[in-house]
Amino acid sequence: MIRETVSVMRDFGRLREIAGIFIRYGWGDAIKRLGLSKLLGASKLLHPQAALEVMHLPPEVRVRMAIQELGPTFVKLGQVLATRPDIFPPSWIAEFAKLQDKVPPVPFEELLPQLEQALGHSPFEVFRELNQEAIAGASIAQVHAAVLQDGTPVVLKIRRPHIESLIEADLRLLSHLGRLIESEMPEVRRLHLGKIIGQFSKSLRKELDLAAEGRNTDHFHANFEANPDVVFAKIFWEYTSEKLLVMEHLPGIAGNEIEEARASGLDLKKLAALGANTLLKMVLIDGFFHADPHPGNVFYLPGNRLAVIDCGMVGRLTLERRNQIADLLASLVSKDYETLLNILIDWAGDASVDETKLEGDLEEFLFNYHDASLRQISFGRLLNDLTTVMRENHLSVPSDLAMLFKALITLEGLGRQLDPDFQIVRHLTPFVKQVIYDRYMPGTLLKRGRRSLMGALGMLTSVPRDFAKLMKEMRRGRVKIEFDLKRLDHFGHQIDHSTNRLTLGLLTSALIIGSSIVMTVKGGPTLLGLPAFGFLGFFIASVFGLWLMISIWRSSRED
């Protein structure tokens, strides 16, 4: 098992370095438990006295110090962990949030060969001017200002040399270490480190591709094309590649320069509202959002416009997820714990949940806010308190929502810097109402009904094949069936009810689709100016739907 933690021998030195750093910060016992100390000769890496010097510090501080020393891959992982208050307590989240993705810039001479390779020419032939001093930088890439031959000011984001191989080596080791930790330390399995590392690796590999950031920027530009107040940089694709991103220079005031923005005559209240509406549109309407809207990625432009940059980290939300988010946010604002309970249980999936405890915790959580006005509510605190309830009930937030919660909390903080009276809830309500309204539009219902009907038909056509496969497996003795006879009568009764509801739901969907088609046919008898058969179909579907909702409501009351 130990040797499985190293995919290739070239990673051995890095693994030894990682172990040495964690030992230095007092985690020698953990290294021993993982069985790495003998393999790596870790006991010889340093004198035990070095670890004793930091043992008076809290464990979360020692972990953060080790991560900071381990370099960019681990720092970025720590920043991801800072978005998971559903997994880690507040003191750990606060330490992870201190991690800074800042490294000294690479000398331009070291960047030049990579820049020439990416452009296919000498950069001095492509650019009239090129500032060899970096104006910004991070672990993956650094930024230089330049001017095209036609006089257009641009910004070059250049990937650091050899960073891909360094990150890939760390990701390989993280993957192996995650599995090893879950195998050897049962007490931390609830953290789902393997799953977190897998999602993190996928996201970080995307960040390495600077062309992907360009595509994200273009996607945002298309989504906000109708809104001139929200600006995204133009991408110069003739020069852009995986290792180089060339984009329009957007002169403006940095997002954290609040006093400069005020002195320039900008309307800070309007900018705060614009920022809120921008992110909420991304999340609830477009399903494609900027996952890192901190002040460094925002600029204020003349005319109270907003420029958003650094679109490498994005989140994507399906329509179903957006509906869940709308329901979640609506239930938080209206303090509806029953809806909130159902959503959290749905997110729990197969995880075991003590529903009675969760229900009591949610009631207590919402009671703490029952007398609070919009002005008194910090939405960030509301989300953090909710994730605390989830953590205490061993529930985890889906990864896409963890990014979203972090983005909303960051946005609220920036909004309140611009406008002390800023309330994200005021901007939230219209978007939530729009999502819920769109959900029940005839066109949406028709699409959902058609999908349900086609899914049911597909399931029916697959039954003979699946049954034949099941019989074949049974003949081979490969099928194992376990019975739990507790409350069997009640279970059978529930199956009857569920089958009846499913049948009625399919009939209702079929009536809606059929009636919609009939409504488009001209001629024939009419009723109230509408085709009579189509009207009758909709009426029957409404009765069926009403009966179905009453039945579901009554059964939930009985339960």
Distance separating alpha carbons of residues 404 and 388, to the nearest angstrom: 16
Q: Which long-range contacts (CB under 8 A, 24 or more apart) does 495-502 make?
A: 497/551, 497/555, 501/548, 501/551, 501/552
pTM for this entry: 0.73
Distance separating alpha carbons of residues 514 and 541, to the nearest angstrom: 10
Q: How many CB atoms lie within 10 A of CB 499?
A: 10
The token pair that represents 456 in the structure block:
């049911």
Phi-psi region of 349 (alpha: psi -120 to 50; beta: other; left: phi over 0): left
By the 8 A CB rule, do 137 and 103 touch?
yes
**First-to-last C-alpha distance (Å) of the chain:** 48
The token pair that represents 319 in the structure block:
């329509």
For the chain, helix, strand, coil in percent to 5 are: 65, 10, 30
Active site residues: 292
Tell the burial category of 261 from Cβ atoms under 10 Å away from its Cβ (0-12, 13-18, 19+).
Answer: buried
User: For each of the chain's 559 residues, which pLDDT tens digit applies?
Assistant: 444 444 545 677 888 888 888 888 888 888 888 877 666 664 555 445 556 678 889 999 999 999 999 988 999 899 888 888 888 888 999 999 888 777 788 899 999 998 999 999 899 999 999 999 999 888 889 999 999 999 999 999 999 998 998 899 999 999 988 888 888 888 777 777 888 899 889 989 988 999 999 999 999 999 999 999 999 999 999 999 999 999 999 999 999 899 999 999 999 999 999 999 999 999 999 999 998 888 889 999 999 999 999 999 899 998 888 888 888 888 887 778 888 888 888 887 666 788 889 889 988 888 887 666 555 677 888 888 888 888 888 887 887 888 888 888 888 888 999 999 898 888 888 888 888 888 776 765 566 666 666 666 666 666 677 767 777 777 776 666 655 544 445 555 566 666 666 666 666 676 677 666 656 655 567 666 666 666 676 677 677 777 767 766 666 555 5
Provide the residue ranges of all domains of the chain, joining segments of one domain with +.
Answer: 102-249, 255-439, 442-558
- Write b or e for each residue in 265-274: b if 16 or more Cβ atoms lie within 10 A of its Cβ, otherwise e: ebbbeebbbb
The token pair that represents 114 in the structure block:
């990579």
**Backbone phi, then psi, for 124, in 5-degree steps?**
-75, -15
Distance separating alpha carbons of residues 341 and 353, to the nearest angstrom: 11
- How high is the pLDDT of residue 85? 83
- Where is 272: in which H helix or E strand? helix 268-280
- Give 288's strand partners: 316
Distance separating alpha carbons of residues 554 and 557, to the nearest angstrom: 5
- Give 535's strand partners: none
- How high is the pLDDT of residue 87? 84
Helical segments of 71-139, H only: 72-81, 90-96, 108-119, 123-126
Strands (E), 265-379: 288-290, 298-301, 305-308, 314-316
- How high is the pLDDT of residue 99? 86
- How high is the pLDDT of residue 448? 61
The token pair that represents 216 in the structure block:
């994200």
- How high is the pLDDT of residue 26? 87
> Closest Cα partner for 143 from 210, 73, 80?
210
